Amino acid sequence: MQALQGSFRLSALMGCRWFAALAVLPTWLAWGGAAQAAADEEEASPPAEASAPPPAKAEPIAAKVVPVVEAPAPPAPAPVIEQMGPETFPGRLRGLYGGSLWLEPSFHGLQWPQNTRTGIGLSGSFWVDSGNERITRDRPQLPNSKMYFQQGRGLLRVTPAYVSGPLFVQGQVELVGNLCQAATSGPAANPVTNTVCQSAGTFSTDDLWIRVGQWNLWDVKVGRFEAWEVYHLGMGMEPYTLERLGAGMLGVDSTTTPRLEAPTLYAVNYLHDRPTEGLAVGYAAAHAYVTPYLRFELLAKLGDDNNRADNGTGDTPSTYYGARPTAIFDIGWLKLKAAGEYQKRSAVVQTVDGGGNKHDNTDNRTQEGVGGSAQFVIDPFVEFGVNAALGKTRHVNSYGTEVGEDSYTTKSIGLFANGRFAEGWLGGLGVNWTTQLDKFLASGSTSNDYTTHFQAFAALQYLLARQLYIKAVFGYARAGFQASDVTVPVWNNYMYSGRVRLMYLY
């Protein structure tokens, strides 16, 4: 999960510095004593004026004994503990304490952690969901689905930093353990591999990056990470959850050509999510903090997914490049966010014709999109926002022909609202509407494939001891399918789900 909530900062002061300070301490004290004595003598003997009469004889004054108080030894440096609450960024309201805006993983573009000294930050999270989901399909040929489930994820984050005045260098790695574990079954002579966890893995990495910059002014970041968030969902539809997938086919054959699936929410996320293409694809981003309220991110993507054979998706080995500029205007109670993105995937390996001539492979896919949001925080009572995004994908095969079923336009709009109604208690609502129209046209048809997806949720959360989040989420989704093939009737899928999440942050 993508939230940074707690940070343990370990002081990096070296013992040798204390030793050096103690070694020169006598010299400092002697110098300071001599300087003070000279100052006292100068004050006691001011320059005499020529016309001044001789001073009267003064009575002897008993010497005043001033006890010498030795300065206490400086205490040994203790570990610095920083709780990532609203006080982390003074004067910068992230959202309701414990709410979804407060937990937003990119902290609305703010630099984190706010290092003041060299050290190592330790933080992380654990969450486990337990629940039930049912999907009904009103087309007679398509079966319904129902399941109980448990999903979970644990993350350990290590963030070392070196600080020199306003400049800093950081690194970060996030090691992830997944509840889903795959194992082989069947006889030893003919084992069957359970592949259900392959997409997530049983142990993996989320962040792995290096950043250098100046606090509240600029920085440059390279590696594997998420871009700044623009489209905010609220207290439900978190990544890796079944309710995020909604009322999809989930392994059920739609019996259409091409096969139809519920459209995925577009949240200006072609280049927002961490790169997952494989071999050598990564990000680089430059950040500018123009004022305390206005900041920019320019993210670039570059790399190859596979240089030996077809990649995991079965597509042609490809090179990726792209860019995603983002702007955030944030005055605490109001946050305006906007982003655009473009990326292209092109084939790495040339094609060879029958005559042995080599040609550049025309297989490529381009994706571009734009979106924005407005978010409002009335602390400590309510926060809410509205989102909108438009994305386009175009795929051209190695013959130079556009692939209709893989070329489409996706539109998403959404609303969310969170409210506090008692100490430790938050409630949240969210709705999102997504449509997708591709360019596939069946024989004898005048309409392209068209799918829709309405997703809604209600959430209730209690924060125990400011550490354990206990949240119940109830989800509903309706997906509509209209195939280009006129012989296929229009149908809908309906999803009903409920889950309880326990999440511990440190």
pLDDT in tens, 192-212: 666 667 555 567 899 999 999
- Cα 60 to its chain centre, rounded Å, is 78
Residue 156 above 80 pLDDT?
A: yes
Burial of 372-401, coded b for 16+ CB within 10 Å and e otherwise, reads bbebebebeebbbbebbbebbbbbbbeeee
Other C-beta atoms within 10 Å of 276: how many? 10
Read off the DSSP letter of residue 32: H
Closest CA to 321 of 340, 344, 304: 344
The pLDDT value given to residue 53: 46
Half-sphere exposure of 502 (CA within 13 A, CB side): 3
Give the three-state DSSP class for 144. coil
Mean pLDDT is lowest, of 114-128, 168-182, 319-333, 394-408, for 114-128
Q: Which residues contact 257 (CB under 8 A, 6 or more apart)?
A: 442, 485
CA geometry: angle 256, 260, 264, nearest 5 deg = 180
pLDDT tens per residue across span 280-298: 899 999 999 999 999 999 9
Q: In this structure, is the dihedral angle defined by the CA atoms of residues 273, 208, 223 and 365, taken in order, positive or negative?
A: negative
Confidence of residue 276 (pLDDT cuts 50, 70, 90): confident
Closest CA to 423 of 7, 51, 29, 98: 98
Closest CA to 502 of 234, 156, 125: 125
Residue 373 above 90 pLDDT?
A: yes
pLDDT tens per residue across span 164-182: 988 999 999 999 998 887 6
Question: 13-17 contacts: CB < 8 A, separation 24 or more?
Answer: 13/77, 13/117
Q: What is the DSSP string of 54-100?
A: PPPPPPP-PPPP----PPPPPPPP--EEEE-SGGGSTT---SSTTST
The C-alpha atoms of residue 496 and residue 133 are separated, in whole angstroms, by 6
Other C-beta atoms within 10 Å of 443: how many? 7
The pLDDT value given to residue 17: 39
Strands (E), 259-310: 280-289, 294-304
Mean pLDDT is lowest, of 11-20, 266-275, 320-329, for 11-20
Task: Using CB atoms within 10 Å of the CB of residue 166, give its burial: 0 to 12 exposed, 13 to 18 middle, 19+ buried.
Answer: exposed
Residue 48 above 50 pLDDT?
A: no
- Cα 224 to its chain centre, rounded Å, is 11
Q: In this structure, is the dihedral angle defined by the CA atoms of residues 238, 455, 266 and 345, taken in order, positive or negative?
A: positive
Kindly state the average pLDDT of the residues 218-238: 97
The C-alpha atoms of residue 431 and residue 306 are separated, in whole angstroms, by 38
Confidence of residue 67 (pLDDT cuts 50, 70, 90): low
pLDDT tens per residue across span 412-468: 999 999 999 999 999 999 999 999 999 999 999 999 999 999 999 999 999 998 889
- Cα 262 to its chain centre, rounded Å, is 25
Of the chain, the percentage scoring pLDDT greater than 90 comes to 61
The C-alpha atoms of residue 398 and residue 407 are separated, in whole angstroms, by 15
Tokens of 173: 């790695």
Query: What average pLDDT does the structure give for the chain?
Result: 83
The pLDDT value given to residue 381: 97
Give the three-state DSSP class for 470. strand
The pLDDT value given to residue 278: 77
Q: Which residues contact 423 (CB under 8 A, 6 or more apart)?
A: none
Half-sphere exposure of 207 (CA within 13 A, CB side): 26
Residue 308 above 90 pLDDT?
A: no
- Terminal-residue alpha carbon distance, the chain: 13
| pTM of the shown model | 0.81
Q: In this structure, is the dihedral angle defined by the CA atoms of residues 475, 338, 100 and 117, taken in order, positive or negative?
A: positive
Residue 37 above 90 pLDDT?
A: no
The pLDDT value given to residue 35: 40
Mean pLDDT is lowest, of 156-160, 289-293, 336-340, for 156-160
Half-sphere exposure of 259 (CA within 13 A, CB side): 10
Across 10-19, 120-129, 368-377, the highest mean pLDDT is recorded for: 368-377
Kindly state the average pLDDT of the residues 43-57: 43
Residue 185 above 80 pLDDT?
A: no
* Cα-only R_g, the chain: 31
Residue 49 above 50 pLDDT?
A: no
Kindly state the average pLDDT of the residues 41-66: 45
Contact by Cβ (8 Å): 431, 414: yes
Kindly state the average pLDDT of the residues 211-217: 93
Judged by phi (left if over 0) then psi (alpha if -120 to 50, else beta), residue 207 lies in beta
Dihedral Cα 392, 398, 401, 404, nearest 10 deg: -50
Residue 376 above 80 pLDDT?
A: yes
Tokens of 239: 């990544």
Does domain 127-151+227-505 bear CATH number 2.40.160? yes
The pLDDT value given to residue 117: 75
Domain borders along the chain are: 127-151+227-505
The pLDDT value given to residue 122: 84
Mean pLDDT is lowest, of 41-55, 331-345, 377-391, for 41-55
Read off the DSSP letter of residue 36: H
Other C-beta atoms within 10 Å of 186: how many? 9
Give the three-state DSSP class for 170. strand
The pLDDT value given to residue 310: 53
Mean pLDDT is lowest, of 4-13, 118-127, 145-154, 300-309, for 4-13
Tokens of 424: 């430790």
